[in-house]
A and B are shown apart, each in its own frame.
Chain A
Amino acid sequence: MSVQERLRRLLFLVPYVARNPGQKVAEVAAALGISSSQLLEELDLLTLVGRPPFQPDDFVDIYVDDDERVYVQLDQRLSAPPRLTAEEGVALAAAAALLKPASNDALRAALSKLEGVLPPHALERYRAMGRQLDVAEGGPDSLAELAQAVAERREVVLDYFAASRGQTEQRRVQPWELVSHRGQWYLSAFCLTRGGQRLFKLDRIAKLELTRTTFTPPAGATGAALPTSTATPVTVRFSRSRAPYVRERFGSAVRELPDGEVEVEVPGDSERWLTRWVLSFGGAARVTAPAAAIAQVERAARAVLEG
């Protein structure tokens, strides 16, 4: 690890322990993203740090007691961490950009406060560097609102288009988790309207409102209901012109065929995803098994031609 990285860590460690006295070694290590033994090494180094004239009271006094708890007695003015660097600010702003801050007041406000605490010389660099990391993903507008609802455990009312019913319905849900899976965002939630755990596609949410009602998610409430790959896999064959793309994406899972075509197996759990994916190749991709999947793509192509 570079000297700089270590300095950055240590300049955070002392104020962290000063603010959170008596945390266990493992807790402090976790907060810093290092192992307990790494933490003990860092503490050893810190006990050597001080300022001239290096009298006993001039050293950082940080220690672990018999109960494995960490304390700091003398912080030598390392009472708060240094401000954010421009790089730290840019990385955080880019992460926030993924959640579409334009559509969420809380995220937008947080970002402007972040700019407020960058030192003046870093602010300029932060703005310049903002041009060099661009994550403008086509994510749904509801992302940040829902992230806020999940984080604050607030019930949400949605207008949701249920494909199986062919209509938009209002649902009241307890949002548990947001998951991006194969380029599609899902909300895993307990649906109070239907009385069960459901998975909602974010691009099917027409309107949403955060309520003031909070809830406590059950232990282990996660995206357990994510599309799983238990269905029969689907075999898709690609023309020679598309083969390089497929080899790149699927690597060793690709089956090479004698005529230069290639074949892969993909999970058969999402009809909609599969159909969309095969259609997007405009004839250069062909489902070869199972028969139900072939028929489904055929129907979709007919529907387009007849529409």
Chain B
Amino acid sequence: MDRTERILDLVALLLDAQAPVSWGEIREAFPDEYSGSQDAAERKFERDKAELLELGLPITWTPATDEHLEGYVIDKSAYYLPELALAPAELAVLYAAGSAVLTSGAFPGREDLAHALRKISFFADGQLPPPKVRLELSELTGSRELPARLEALWGAINAKKWVDLEYFSPFSAQVTHRRVDPYGLALRRGMWTLVGWCHLRGAVRSFHVHRVRALTVNASKPRSADFQLPAAFSLDEYVAAWPWQHRFHPPTEVTVELRGELAPLAASLFGVTAPVSNERSTFTLSVTDLEGLVGYVLSQGPDARLLAPESAVQALRAAATGVLDAHRSSP
């Protein structure tokens, strides 16, 4: 008998049972399947049960009581998906978000997401309209491998298994071998970063997933965790959300001013709230990568300026002068 078939038979048996099903009854029901020594048969059953538990099926063993003998049960109220009672707008927007990600080409957990979308729309009547949200996440070269790498990392993160990476650094143009306990994945500005414990460096490190040239997940004992996630771990502390947040030097306070059409855009352009008065907004940022900030502010054009400290103001001027010198048509 095919293993999938046997496991589905078990589900059908447990879903139909009115009382706990004992191991003896299970063995009797599948004499050819759980044959051989008691030990071997039990191990085989445990492996089958593990598949179902990993799928989230609520199977438990319950001891004997006055009313029934000991055995296995599926808690039916916890098994069946209930109606989510999503309002049409709620379903539509959740579905749009999920579908946009599925078509984006590079997102971890795509199979999980596809199943989730099927389940949330299970009770919806009629076909859902094709969601009109498109997202491009795979623009970098080497992105052909990216979806598969993300999927493998997602599996390793969830099972808490270490991974071996061949990691390319564009600056040294060298590939190093790293063993990493994968803690999590973060998406920033269209790029995926893996954060984890690097065995080589003995510290938490971040890795751009598109720079991973080869990836192997520890295949031994897939059901036992290789590591634990530190209780206080937060991905956000290890990835820069903004260009001035790379941890290159100690934080300094830099004052930024936005004028004209940029004045009301502090939140979307800099992630801060700043009141607008006289068509200007002013705010300070904690900066650990001044060069990153300078490039970013410069790219916003003349309506974004640095006000303090003087060193930052000069850095911006120097960068603008650099651009001008590189493009000057007449001396």
Q: Which residues of A contact B (CB under 8 A)?
A: 3-8, 10-12, 15-16, 19, 31-33, 45-46, 48-53, 58, 60, 76-92, 94-96, 98-99, 104, 106-107, 109-111, 113-114, 116-117, 119-122, 128-129, 131-138, 140-141, 144, 147-148, 150-153, 161, 163, 176-183, 203, 206, 222-223, 244-245, 247-252, 275-287, 294-295, 297-298, 300-307
Residues of A within 8 A of B157 (CB): 132-133
| Complex contact B170–A114 (CB within 8 A) | no
| Complex contact A111–B94 (CB within 8 A) | yes
Is B23 interfacial (CB-CB < 8 Å)?
no
From B8, B15, B98, B211, A10 is in contact (CB under 8 Å) with B8
| Complex contact A84–B184 (CB within 8 A) | no
| Complex contact B2–A45 (CB within 8 A) | yes
A116 to chain B, nearest CB (A): 8
Could you mark each residue 26-37 of chain B with 1 if its beta carbon is under 8 Å from any beta carbon of chain A, else 0? 001110000000
| Complex contact B93–A147 (CB within 8 A) | yes
| Complex contact A113–B85 (CB within 8 A) | yes
**Contact A282 B298, CB 8 Å, known A87-B112, A110-B91, A152-B88:** yes
**Contact A83 B109, CB 8 Å, known A51-B12, A77-B16, A147-B93:** no
| Complex contact B56–A83 (CB within 8 A) | yes
Most buried by A among B11, B117, B316: B11
| Complex contact A136–B8 (CB within 8 A) | no
**Contact A48 B5, CB 8 Å, known A84-B116, A244-B170, A282-B322:** yes
| Complex contact B15–A110 (CB within 8 A) | no
Most buried by B among A132, A144, A206: A132
B307 to chain A, nearest CB (A): 12
Write 8 A-B pairs (CB below 8 A) sorted by A numbering. Answer: A10-B8, A86-B56, A110-B93, A128-B229, A178-B133, A279-B295, A300-B302, A307-B302
Residues of A within 8 A of B107 (CB): 94-95
Is B271 interfacial (CB-CB < 8 Å)?
yes
From A161, A182, A287, A302, B324 is in contact (CB under 8 Å) with A302
| Complex contact B134–A248 (CB within 8 A) | no
Most buried by B among A31, A88, A141, A252: A88
| Complex contact B326–A12 (CB within 8 A) | no
Binding stretch for chain A, among B38-46, B138-146, B247-255, B278-286: B138-146
| Complex contact A136–B84 (CB within 8 A) | no
| Complex contact A51–B16 (CB within 8 A) | yes
CA distance A41 to B227 in the complex (A): 39
**Contact A106 B114, CB 8 Å, known A181-B136, A250-B141:** no
Q: Which residues of B contact A (CB under 8 A)?
A: 1-5, 7-9, 11-13, 15-16, 28-30, 51-52, 54-58, 78-82, 84-98, 100-102, 107-120, 122, 129, 131-136, 139-142, 154, 157-158, 170-171, 173, 183-190, 210-211, 229, 233-236, 239, 241-242, 261, 264-265, 267-269, 271, 291, 294-296, 298-303, 305, 316-329
Q: Which residue in chain B gives the minimum CB-CB distance to A132?
A: B184
**Contact A87 B189, CB 8 Å, known A132-B235, A141-B268, A301-B327:** no
B159 to chain A, nearest CB (A): 10
**Contact A150 B268, CB 8 Å, known A3-B51, A83-B56, A131-B233:** no
| Complex contact B184–A134 (CB within 8 A) | yes
| Complex contact A301–B324 (CB within 8 A) | yes
Residues of B within 8 A of A79 (CB): 80
| Complex contact A203–B116 (CB within 8 A) | no
| Complex contact A276–B189 (CB within 8 A) | no
Known interface pairs A121-B56, A283-B319, A304-B302; 5 further A-B residue pairs with C-beta atoms within 8 A, sorted by A's residue number: A49-B9, A90-B112, A111-B94, A133-B108, A251-B141
**Contact A113 B90, CB 8 Å, known A248-B140, A307-B305:** yes
Residues of B within 8 A of A90 (CB): 109, 112
CA distance A244 to B174 in the complex (A): 11
| Complex contact B92–A83 (CB within 8 A) | no
| Complex contact A119–B78 (CB within 8 A) | yes
**Contact A91 B109, CB 8 Å, known A134-B184, A136-B241:** yes
| Complex contact A91–B113 (CB within 8 A) | yes
Q: Which residue in chain A gives the minimum CB-CB distance to B296?
A: A280
**Contact A283 B325, CB 8 Å, known A78-B15, A132-B185:** yes
Residues of A within 8 A of B261 (CB): 161, 163
A30 to chain B, nearest CB (A): 10
Residues of A within 8 A of B323 (CB): 278-279, 281-283, 297, 300-301
Q: Which residue in chain B gives the minimum CB-CB distance to A100?
A: B97
| Complex contact B89–A152 (CB within 8 A) | yes
| Complex contact A45–B58 (CB within 8 A) | no
Residues of A within 8 A of B267 (CB): 141
7 A-B pairs with least C-beta separation: A283-B322, A282-B319, A251-B141, A151-B92, A52-B29, A132-B184, A307-B302
Residues of A within 8 A of B4 (CB): 3, 6-7, 10, 45
A89 to chain B, nearest CB (A): 7
